[in-house]
Structure formats: structure tokens, C-alpha cells
Amino acid sequence: MAAMTQQASYTLRHAVASSIVVTVRPLGATLSSVLAPDRNGALGEVTLGFDEGEGDAPYLDGRSAYFGCVAGRVANRTKGAAFELDGATYTLAANDGANHLHGGTVGFDKRRWTVVDASATALTLALRSGDGDEGYPGTLDARVTYSLPDPRTLRVAYAATTDKATPVNLTNHAYWNLNDGGASPVVDHELQVDASFYTPVGEGAIPTGEIRRAAGAMDLSAGRRLGDALYDTDGGAGYDHNYARPRAGESFPAATARDRVYTGNFLDGVAGRGGTRYGRHAGLCLETQLFPDALHNAHFPSAVLRPGSTYAHATEHVFSAAAARPAL
């Protein structure tokens, strides 16, 4: 499909008062705003981000902590900023201490994606990442589609193909705050993760290789208020962990989260939308993805995409409002 005339941003919504309103910027295929109705139908911001009038600048000048972007070619951390694949060694940018983070210095978050299809309720963006881009092998063609299958659901679907074996692990890095869009911490948010295992991390937040049964503060299977256990997590700094499901390719109920959970541990007061200062734990990231650092852990599910295969996964966010906080 041919590329379309590019706009600075695109807004998706259904033509009903109860619809969520989603704004996407082609830079980084960034989910820059999500407005959701409260129990009275009033729309409110539920993500962290910047004023639309600031344009792309906050996402390029160092202010953004990956707010709402598509992270890739490989999201999360790669130990030692290098990996071996099919007998060859590839060196990546060390942009997180000695490690590689979210695709490198100019990852997918800082690339301008091409809009290839747009409607009132769906937007598809494409990006070609050439052979050697940020050190990765193979030319990768990636797509992400943001759509509203109904007025209360945001669906994010990813697809990618390659002409040479390469690692791929895409995710969206939106920070969610359902209370006030980041003006206060998410300590009163309740979270349930339908997973019994997680991957502990060591120095530099790199997985140790162990797959451990979740217990204590790390057990979110029954749901819990985040503030009750935030500093009792593995590592003690908050949730920044990969929760593991036993099989890939499953569908998950909307009330659960899969894989990476991150509670904005490194937010340091950056000025965001409307001048709001986003302090520590101002947002919650639910980064659906493959296991972090799978390239160095052969027993983790593989993150390598080969020619002739298609990388694909999708995440749905379903919004609702109740008269009172539901019991978990």
C-alpha cells in the first residue's frame, strides 16, 4: 500500500460520546495520548506524555523516557551490548551502562514511521530498518496498527518480516496512570497479572536466566494494590520485571497483563503534559513482549526471526469505569 501524506499526529475515535480518544504520532509510532471516559462519561487523560503543541521535540531532546513509543528492533536490555547468531558476533550500542536498551541510540522510538493506512478508527504505520541498522543484521520491515475495534478498546498489532536472521522484540512503552494521567503516583492502582512465574534480574536489570515462581510481593496473580508491595519487590526498587506465561500464541483476558511490568522507577520529575512533573512511579508500563535478553539465554523462548517467517503479536487495552472500585 502506498504511503500517504504525513500529518504531525492522528486521532482515532468512534462517533459516539463514550469512545476513547487516541492520538498517535508517526515519530516512534508513538501513542501520545489516550483519553478515556470516567463513570460520568467525562474524558480524562490516562497516559503520561507531552502537550501536542510541543510537536516531536520532547521525544528527541532527551526529555522522554520512551513515553508511548514502539521500542525496537529489540525492546528491553541486551547484556553486554552484543550477541552471537548463526556463528557471527554482532555489536550493538551500549546506551544503558554496558548494556543495550530498546534498540539503541536511534532505535525505533526515534525513527519517523510512514503512515500507510488511516481511517477514523485505525492507523497503520510502517518502518524499514536496514541491514546493519544499530548493529542488527538483516533488513527488517515492521508494521504497527493502532485500532479501536469498539469504542472502549485500543488494539495494538505488530508484524515484521526480514531477509536475514535477526532478533526482533517489539513493544509499546506507554506509561499508564488511570487516576490523573501522571499527576500522582500509581501506588493506589491495583494490578493483576495472570502469570505464576517471572524472570529475576541482576546487575543492570539483566535477567539472571532463572525462571522463578512468583511469591510475596512478586505474586500479582490474585491482584494487589501496588503501593502495598512496591518496595518489597525483587530488587526493592519497584516492579521492573518480566512475568512469564508457559506458552506463546495464547489470547489473554483483558483484565490481565502479560510479560513486562514496570512502575516508572526511573522517572525523575520530567515536565510533561500541561507542565505536570512526572515523579517516581507516576506511571505503569505493561510492555507485552518476548523474554528480555533471550539472546543470552537459550532456554528462553527464541527472539530470532528468520526469512519466510512473520513476527506478529497484538495487545488489547479495554477501558471501563465503575461506580466504585471493583474488588480483585
Cα dihedral 276, 235, 289, 326, rounded to 10, equals -60
Which entry of 189, 241, 287, 317 is annotated as an active-site residue? Answer: 287
Given the residues 173, 189, 281, 317, select the one marked as catalytic. 173
Strand partners, 142: 127, 160
* Gap between the Cα atoms of 217 and 43, Å rounded: 33
287 catalytic residue (yes or no): yes
CA 307-309-312 angle, to 5 degrees, is: 130
Task: Report the Cα 310 to chain-centroid distance in Å.
Answer: 20
Q: What grid cell was written down for 282?
A: 507516576
How far is the C-alpha of 46 from the C-alpha of 23, rounded, in Å? 12
Q: b/e for 88-121, b at 16 or more Cβ within 10 A?
A: eebebbbbbeebbbbbbeebbbbbebbbeebeeb
CA distances 126 to 7, 119, 146, 156, 213, Å, are: 14, 16, 12, 13, 38
Which residues are catalytic, by number? 173, 287
